[in-house]
Chains A and B, each alone.
Chain A
């Protein structure tokens, strides 16, 4: 193969949102950006997705909230957050200093709370897109339904769609039988893009105490352990819908990120890797650039969805 030289384009589009590269941060692993600013230049990121926000602040779960598992971790933070109002007042001004799109992740207990949070965040200067969390595994009955019951899901997305003009990303749960079906429901209800996937429910047992290690009993599994599941879920989703898909689940390296992009994801989000290595996002961006150079590809969009499936 003849290797082309010259500038390579890493820029991608998620609905109307333009990213300088496809590397985003996964909600809940990057705080509101501040913690990482001392380790990396935030301007280099494709987008920052902030910790999930609710219309009123949440205290979160008791501890232990996290436990390591083979090549992964379980978390049950319980959506601790400062609330939409404090985010807009205290955290957004910091993020506005950077030339990087900010995606506000949000959730609610009821349709009304979802709509209120979406409306308030849409008014705020410096929020460029919304990511709707309907799939956190650490909430009890009544809430999880939004992510796993097609009818509830359709209802809540339809209402949020009416409340915002920003690009609306819906984050899907892997804890379903057919993610393609759920993806179509979200698309038809007005989602502009999908994040695939949230964590997988899991449990770790302390055998001496005969008790679950996490205070919440169960938690969401993340990290490299879940990556093959996530790649397959992204592939399934991309075949089910025509809106862009953001791939995530255990991405540690550029090679991991490329698996998702080749499987059809337009962008990717780095999650647990941020905990292990605060500069992981930059290493992944640089690794993708290097891969394009090695492969003689000048535009990342030529890589996206380039999977050659075995007949």
Chain B
């Protein structure tokens, strides 16, 4: 089964003013994706937009792929104008996936980051404490589905139009604080709560401090400008702490980093390893 195939659009409908759900029917049997993986999708029919765009898999059912996306730039605008019956080139599934949670887990979604986390929440039904932050109520999507799938949902919005007003990372911090009093989780104990996150960089950075302080493993799905999605262009790199340098040279090598490709070694990274 090739990772490069064509699909027919069987759905491209709006969830609300900002978000659409694209459903594709591949022309042949395809490889089943794992939660956290992504696809490069053609978004236009001519040379402009030229490059395919990366989208996290939202759902895979009966050989149909679906992608939740937000209309943000030229590529997603072009994609939003395509119709049922249009045929697109697709590459995937690409990248690594979220490691399997041991027991219950925490999922932290910022805005459209929910798209990447939902397959995980769906696969491990009733095991996720979902923390879902957005700018305002209009940026929260798929709430009905998530309510059904998650064990518990915490919502924050920047303007207070839904859930608690404020940042989602604060809600995570409060939750972990309460949990610590109740459970005393230890990072080394098997079954420690793992945390999975996808969202904007400031959110992930704040979360990395919280999870480090709490001693909990955290896996973040990263995003970068990407040309090919298959490891060739070296456009989508992130800074990862150079463990070899610090092993060899100790404190002198502190802050040294290497670049890793979001599309190949990622998009999921251990949040501890990321150099912000």
The interface size of chain A toward B, counting residues with CB under 8 Å, comes to 35
Query: Are B228's CB and A274's CB within 8 A?
Result: yes
Question: Most B CB atoms within 10 A — which of A29, A34, A63?
Answer: A63
Residues of B within 8 A of A67 (CB): 225
Residues of A within 8 A of B231 (CB): 31, 34-35
Interface window among A14-22, A70-78, A178-186, A259-267: A70-78
Query: Are A73's CB and B4's CB within 8 A?
Result: no
Query: Are A275's CB and B237's CB within 8 A?
Result: no
Is A94 in contact with chain B by the CB < 8 A criterion?
no
**What 1/0 flags go to A260-287 for Cβ under 8 Å of B?**
0000000000001011111100000000
Residues of A within 8 A of B30 (CB): none
Query: Are A68's CB and B237's CB within 8 A?
Result: no
Given contacts A38-B3, A60-B237, A66-B235, contact A275 B225 (CB under 8 A): no
Residues of B within 8 A of A77 (CB): 233-235
B215-264 contacts to A (CB < 8 Å): 224-228, 230-238, 258-259, 264
Is B52 in contact with chain A by the CB < 8 A criterion?
yes
Residues of A within 8 A of B48 (CB): 70-71
Closest chain-B Cβ to A213's Cβ sits at a distance in Å of: 8
Residues of B within 8 A of A80 (CB): 234, 237, 259
Interface of B is mostly: loop
In angstroms, Cα B91 to Cα A272, docked, is 16
> Of A28, A29, A64, A278, which is within 8 A of B91 by CB?
A278
Residues of A within 8 A of B210 (CB): none
> Of B49, B91, B226, B264, which is within 8 A of A66 by CB?
B226
Is B51 in contact with chain A by the CB < 8 A criterion?
yes
Is B212 in contact with chain A by the CB < 8 A criterion?
no
Is B2 in contact with chain A by the CB < 8 A criterion?
yes
Is A30 in contact with chain B by the CB < 8 A criterion?
yes
Residues of A within 8 A of B224 (CB): 63-64
In angstroms, Cα B49 to Cα A301, docked, is 35
B59-77 contacts to A (CB < 8 Å): 74-75
Query: Are A65's CB and B232's CB within 8 A?
Result: no
Residues of B within 8 A of A30 (CB): 232
Query: Are A73's CB and B227's CB within 8 A?
Result: yes
Is B182 in contact with chain A by the CB < 8 A criterion?
no
Query: Are A68's CB and B50's CB within 8 A?
Result: yes
Residue of A nearest to B49 (CB): A68
In angstroms, Cα B255 to Cα A142, docked, is 29
Is A36 in contact with chain B by the CB < 8 A criterion?
yes
Query: Are B227's CB and A275's CB within 8 A?
Result: yes
Query: Are B233's CB and A224's CB within 8 A?
Result: no
Is B47 in contact with chain A by the CB < 8 A criterion?
yes
**What 1/0 flags go to A54-92 for Cβ under 8 Å of B?**
000001100111111011110101001000000000000
Query: Are B259's CB and A60's CB within 8 A?
Result: yes
Is B126 in contact with chain A by the CB < 8 A criterion?
no
> Of B51, B91, B237, B259, which is within 8 A of A73 by CB?
B51
Is B164 in contact with chain A by the CB < 8 A criterion?
no
In angstroms, Cα B235 to Cα A60, docked, is 10
Residues of B within 8 A of A223 (CB): 47, 50
Residue of B nearest to A30 (CB): B232
Is B89 in contact with chain A by the CB < 8 A criterion?
yes
Is A252 in contact with chain B by the CB < 8 A criterion?
yes
In angstroms, Cα B250 to Cα A109, docked, is 30
Query: Are B2's CB and A65's CB within 8 A?
Result: no
Closest chain-B Cβ to A225's Cβ sits at a distance in Å of: 8
Instruction: Point out residues on B near A: beta carbons under 8 Å.
Output: 2-4, 47-52, 74-75, 89, 91, 224-228, 230-238, 258-259, 264
User: What are 30 A-B residue pairs whose CB atoms fall within 8 Å in the complex?
Assistant: A28-B234, A30-B232, A34-B231, A35-B231, A36-B230, A39-B3, A39-B4, A59-B258, A60-B259, A63-B236, A64-B225, A65-B234, A66-B226, A66-B227, A66-B233, A67-B225, A68-B50, A68-B227, A75-B227, A77-B233, A223-B47, A223-B50, A224-B47, A252-B47, A272-B50, A272-B227, A274-B232, A275-B232, A276-B52, A278-B230
5 more CB-based (< 8 A) A-B contacts, given A36-B232, A70-B48, A272-B50: A39-B2, A64-B235, A66-B236, A223-B47, A276-B51
